[in-house]
Amino acid sequence: MEVTMALFITKRLLMALATVLVVAVLAFMLVHAMPGSPGAVSLGAGATQEAIDEVNQRLGWNDPLFAQFFTWLGSALQGDLGVSLIDGRSVSADLASRLPVTASLAAGATVLSAVLGIALGVTAAVRGGLLDQVIGGFVGLLVALPAFWVGVLFVYLFAVQSSVFPATGYVPFEVSPQDWAMSLALPVITLAVGGAAFIARQTRASMLEALQQEHIRTLRATATPTWKILYIHALRYASLPIVAGIALQFIGLFGGSVIAEQLFAMPGLGQAVQTSVSTHDAPAVQGVVVIATVVVVAVNLVLELATKFLDPKLRAS
């Protein structure tokens, strides 16, 4: 059993590494396909061709593509993603400072949407009737609301009108845990609204199926407490698609945080992507793509492991 599990993890890790490598190659090729050269980007519109050529030469832009990629890969494996063409700063250092912002946003929104979504979904499935319809309508409304509009509304209500939360900015956790939480509150809620609705629908459907199972009926017949039946046995049976939904939420929120970052002026990866793409800062674009891929692949890996853990049939296979 342990050997099987170790083999499974090794295979999945190798697959994950291969995925990251393929994406790194694609990102590298896309950056090279972008119009303009690093010299032209870093020197601007007034630069002479001579000056541009000199910068390109210094950066190895004229070397064969294979050589350039392996040079970049060698550095990347050591944590060095190159330097920005615009300001010459380390891409790795910049992304390292931005990663906690986006991770806090995505993780916070995922947790909140999971808690709300599961509570709503279980309630709708278990209670049924009018309450199910009301929750269904409410969830439908939440799904339809664009995140940007929700954010604007929350800012107006809770920052502009009542000053409960700050309207903009991000305070790092190490500076002040309380201010960190306050600065994340509105953007996290903004991002969580749509996610909660999505998870609620997923949970309701899975729970309805779980409640029909024979072992649940048996538990009911043996007078097992209802909360135990619902939240331990039925929810565990229903959890596979819910966990998958939550993981997809996290991935989506990680990539989609740009809306919240812009609306709340937060220095995350979304803001970095926006800036680096608009300035044609190739190393920065490449760095963000690779980091985002690593996160997505890691989440998928965790999801697979969690699935294996939750489903006894899969665990035995």
Partner 1 sequence: MKLLTTTARGSAAVLTGALLMGSLAACGGGSSQAAPKADTSSLTLAIDSDSASFGFDPLRVSAAQRQFFEGLYDSLMTLQPDGSAGPGLAKEFSYNADNTVLTLTLKDDVTFTDGSKLDAALVKANLDRRSDPALSAYSAVAKGGAQEITFVDVVSPTQVALTFAKPQPGFEKNLTSTTGMIVGKNGVTDTASLSATPDGSGPYTLDPSTVKGNKYVLVKNDKSPDATKYAFKKVVFSVVLDPQARANALVSGQADVAMLTSSTVDFAKSKGVGVSQIGGTVNTMISFDKIGKTAPAFAQEKVRQAIQYAINRQALVDALHKGDIPAWNALPKDSAGFTKDLETKFAYSPEKAKSLLAEAGYPNGFEFTILAGAQTQTDLQAVQKDLAAVGITMNVKMAASTDEAFAAVATTPLGYAPLNWDNPVGVMYGAILNGFTNVQKATDDQLSAATGELAAAKDDAAVKAAATKLNTRLVESGWMIPLYEALTNQGYNTKKVAPVKFAGTNAYPLLSSYTPAS
Q: Which CB, 154 or 250, lies closer to partner 1?
A: 154
Least separation, in Å, of the C-beta of 195 and partner 1? 22
Least separation, in Å, of the C-beta of 224 and partner 1? 51
Q: What letter represents residue 123's amino acid?
A: T
Tell me the CB-side half-sphere exposure of residue 168, using CA atoms within 13 A. 4
Least separation, in Å, of the C-beta of 266 and partner 1? 7
Instruction: State which of positions 12-31 bind partner 1 (CB under 8 A).
Output: none
Does the footprint of partner 1 cover residue 42 (CB under 8 A)? yes
Does the footprint of partner 1 cover residue 280 (CB under 8 A)? yes
- Find the part of the chain contacting partner 1 (CB under 8 A) among 60-68, 193-201, 263-271, 302-310: 263-271
Binding partner 1 (rule: CB under 8 A), the pick from 197, 266, 285, 290 is: 266
Binding partner 1 (rule: CB under 8 A), the pick from 213, 224, 275, 307 is: 275
Provide the phi-psi class of 214: left if phi over 0, else alpha when psi is between -120 and 50, else beta: alpha
Instruction: Give phi and psi for 61, each to the nearest 5.
Output: -65, -25
Task: Tell me the C-alpha distance between 57 and 230, whole Å.
Answer: 66
The DSSP secondary-structure symbol of 212 reads T
Q: Which CB, 26 or 160, lies closer to partner 1?
A: 160
- The structure tokens listed for 258 are 């740009």
Binding partner 1 (rule: CB under 8 A), the pick from 16, 24, 31, 40 is: 40
Greatest distance between any 2 Cα atoms in the chain: 85
Nearest to 151 by CA among 256, 242, 272, 254: 256
C-alpha distances (whole Å) from 295 to each of 37, 106, 213, 257, 300 are: 29, 11, 36, 14, 9
- The structure tokens listed for 11 are 């295979």
Binding mask 60-99 for partner 1 (x = CB under 8 A): --------------------------xxxx----x--x--
Nearest to 246 by CA among 83, 96, 66, 107: 107
SS (H, E, C) 50-86: HHHHHHHHHCCCCCCHHHHHHHHHHHHHCCCCCECCC
- Find the part of the chain contacting partner 1 (CB under 8 A) among 73-81, 139-147, 209-217, 259-267: 259-267
Task: Tell me the C-alpha distance between 312 and 96, whole Å.
Answer: 38
Does the footprint of partner 1 cover residue 146 (CB under 8 A)? no
Least separation, in Å, of the C-beta of 156 and partner 1? 8
Binding partner 1 (rule: CB under 8 A), the pick from 76, 109, 150, 170 is: 170
The footprint of partner 1 (CB under 8 A) covers 34-36, 40-48, 51, 86-89, 94, 97, 152, 155-156, 159-160, 163, 166-170, 262-267, 271-272, 275, 278-280
